[in-house]
Structure 1
Amino acid sequence: MSGPDAGSSPPRSRDTVLHVHSGNLYGGVESFLRTLAREQRGAPGPTHAFALCFEGRMSQELREAGASVSVLGGARVSRPWSVWRARGALAELLRRERYSAVVCHSPWSQAIFGPVVRSAGLPLVFFQHDALEGKHWLERWARVTPPDLSISNSRFTAGTLRNVYPHIPGKVRYLPVVPPVSVSSGEERARVRAELGTGANDVVIIQACRMEAWKGHRLLLEALGRLRQVPGWVLWVAGGAQRPYEARYLEGLEALASELGIRERVRFLGQRSDVPRLLRAADIHCQPNLGPEPFGIAFIEALQARLPVVTTAMGGPLEIVDSSCGVLVAPEPEPLAEALRRLMAAPEERQRLGAAGPARATALCEPNVFFQGLAEDFQSLAARGHR
């Protein structure tokens, strides 16, 4: 679609904030926006509407949640005319609808659409989901249009905001993660394991994230390769390739599992929409990042599922995982293998760490707390005026 598509719009009895994002991939940012759409009814603060460049899973889930979704048209920097067309679509949308502010969810959307928001005279908010170095060309382009406010998803990411916006006020808001409605039952656990060819008594390690090398898939496989003589464990890898280089990366992981002699114990599950269900049927969550995770919704979901979390000691997870609910290790195969070996052999320790997970997740990511904080952010923005 080349122009704005209003989608199904709920009644706008409150101020409405427009969130601008690409929408062609699916990961933590998209999961957050889905939660924002689903949980906004009855929550304090403004109504949240969305403008995406691409149709796909993201736009479908937002509409299913009853949110207003406008499609601006596919914008690709390599095709300048597509950027101009998408900018024109957003300008028309801002003229037609009444928004109290616009939020851009990446340096890409900030660079492309920030000037349009400025021209419309609306407050501009940058939602910081990743650490910023200030060196990438997209970050340098985004620097040209500073926002009125930045909201960061962790203290770690907020500490890097100055690399692009040294003089912009910022807030830290841990992303909302809704607890699962259902709890794990023995029948459901057995059913999921049977579907995935896993024994009832196997210790299941699960990693659920995008196919990015820095997420540590190779490190996890190398650690488990050291445990190939240890009986009774299985690895579930949830997450499919969304881009060509991710497909090549996945092929390399499958080859590595074969080289390590553990291929028959690794289940590559592809893209899944039932990750909470998989988590409830697993025993240990492990995502050993090689680079610092900005925040980590996957860790919160694992805590909600009462899984002990094993990860590397860097980035946002340092604000999530402590000794009450998980294990932090160095990003090397040997300490990771030793941590997994200990948990495999100690079901009572897994139970102790898992029992603390839900309370830890609630303390950090309770949705009502997030929405109240976000409402305060937009109120303060309106009170002091914008550029």
Structure 2
Amino acid sequence: MRVLHVISEMGAGGAEAVVAGMVRSGGDFGWESGVASGGGHRAEALRALGFTTFDVPVARRRASGVLRAASATRAAVRVFRPDVVLAHNVSASLVSRLATKTPIATVFHGVAEADLGGAARILRHTSRAVVAVAEASADRLRAAGLTPEVIPNAVFPEPPRVDRAAVRGLLGIGPDVPVALCPARLEPQKRHDVLLEAWAMVSGAVLLLAGDGSCRAALEQRAAELGLTERVRFLGTRCDVRDLLEAADVTVLTSDWEGMPIALLESLAAGRPVVASDVDGVREVLAGGGGVLVPRRSPAETAAAMAGLLFDSAARTAAGAAGLAAVERDHDPHTFMKSYDELLRTIAGGRG
């Protein structure tokens, strides 16, 4: 089965990690995989492994951009001749539908509540099947009149390249300093402003922000205003989050909304507990332990949860073990790939 993944970019985000894992694992299920995207380090890595990649300009929610992306995707389809297209997120679904009559399945990684109605209308007219990455996301789609499949995200194992001491040495952090890591784009959805307010209430620890985005300048200014310059590190976009997890004791996500964030699953798979906003797929993942849920936009409660894990090794160890067990039980990559294989073969078999 020839599967063409269509996605806006292949950089450091969670959906991009899913695509890279699916492409690398697809051969075990008889897939020949290609990726059409705006590029990024994950696309380069796949190309170096011999997988077919195509360059597609990012649509950026503009009509002219969508048309340019559709034209490039149409060219990719002519060359690759897929049996099925797997579009990741709504914009990729629209681009794919404009580009080809090949059967399309769309992975719905999530949108803001205000965008759900428009997203549902697009998906209704573009996709033969829609996959929600969490039950909560599926419920929202059902309320909008769709009938999604539910395939929870998986995390594809990636061993660290260096050990804890080496990573901390490179970062200039001592071996006994408590460290929290937030691996998230610096965009409004992720609410780093809430995290900084919370961090001002936690003393004696370092916060690593791995990601970049449109909010960076404002967040750096706010960190300075809060007197956090020495305790918050803006690391920019990183390709080594798995290594950074070795340096961290806890990870934190203060998002306003999420589907099922891969950063959370990667953290739990590395044995690192999570403090996270009580939203959709995050709630599902942490239902069996693995960290602490806090109300959205609640700096004080976020600070208390972070301090509780950073400075209590027994609580941290117990939460880390519970999270690792949950990932192994509920987010196994083989089960994940088998579910997609069955779905895509059904769709491809019904073409025409």
- TM-score normalised per structure 2: 0.89
Helix, strand or coil: the match of 1:125? strand
Mapped contact 2:275–2:294 kept (Cα < 8 A): yes
| Structure of greater Rg | 1
Where structure 1 has 5 or more consecutive residues not aligned to the other structure, the ranges are: 1-14
Mapped contact 1:177–1:301 kept (Cα < 8 A): yes
Mapped contact 2:59–2:66 kept (Cα < 8 A): yes
| 2:51 aligned with 1:67 | yes
Counting only pairs closer than 5 Å after superposition, residues 241-252 of structure 1 correspond to structure 2 as: 241=213, 246=214, 249-252=215-218
C-alpha distance 115-312 of structure 1, shift in aligned 2 (>3 A): same
CA offsets 1:50-87 (integer angstroms, 9 cap, x no match): 222x343343122123221123456566463x654543
Shift of 1:195: 1.6
Question: Is the helix fraction higher in 1 or 2?
Answer: 2
C-alpha distance 132-348 of structure 1, shift in aligned 2 (>3 A): closer
Shift of 1:170: 2.1
Mapped contact 2:15–2:262 kept (Cα < 8 A): no
Shift of 1:88: 4.0
Q: Which residue of structure 1 aligns with residue 2 of structure 2?
A: 16
Q: Which residue of structure 1 aligns with residue 183 of structure 2?
A: 208
Mapped contact 2:5–2:33 kept (Cα < 8 A): yes
Paired residues, what number? 351
- Which segment drifts farther, 138-147 or 21-30? 138-147
- Which segment drifts farther, 253-262 or 268-277? 253-262
C-alpha distance 142-132 of structure 1, shift in aligned 2 (>3 A): farther
Distance in 2 between residues matched to 1:203 and 1:85, nearest whole Å: 47
C-alpha distance 374-137 of structure 1, shift in aligned 2 (>3 A): closer
CA offsets 1:267-307 (integer angstroms, 9 cap, x no match): 11111111111111211111122x12111101111111111
- In the alignment, which of 308, 318, 340 is matched to residue 352 of structure 1? 318
TM-align CA RMSD: 2.6
Helix, strand or coil: the match of 2:86? strand
Counting only pairs closer than 5 Å after superposition, residues 310-349 of structure 1 correspond to structure 2 as: 310-322=275-287, 324-331=289-296, 332-349=298-315
Distance in 1 between residues matched to 2:111 and 2:331, nearest whole Å: 20
Where structure 2 has 5 or more consecutive residues not aligned to the other structure, the ranges are: none
Distance in 2 between residues matched to 1:148 and 1:348, nearest whole Å: 48
- TM-score normalised per structure 1: 0.82
Counting only pairs closer than 5 Å after superposition, residues 131-146 of structure 1 correspond to structure 2 as: 131=111, 133=113, 135=115, 139=119, 142-143=122-123, 145-146=125-126
Counting only pairs closer than 5 Å after superposition, residues 153-232 of structure 1 correspond to structure 2 as: 153-162=133-142, 166-167=145-146, 169-182=147-160, 188-227=163-202, 230=203, 232=204
AA at the equivalent of 1:217: H
C-alpha distance 55-97 of structure 1, shift in aligned 2 (>3 A): closer
Mapped contact 2:154–2:332 kept (Cα < 8 A): yes
AA at the equivalent of 1:314: V
Shift of 1:138: 6.2
Mapped contact 2:181–2:248 kept (Cα < 8 A): yes
C-alpha distance 110-202 of structure 1, shift in aligned 2 (>3 A): same
Shift of 1:202: 0.8
CA offsets 1:325-371 (integer angstroms, 9 cap, x no match): 11111121111111122223311111111122222112222111111
Q: Which residue of structure 2 aligns with residue 5 of structure 1?
A: none
Shift of 1:317: 0.4
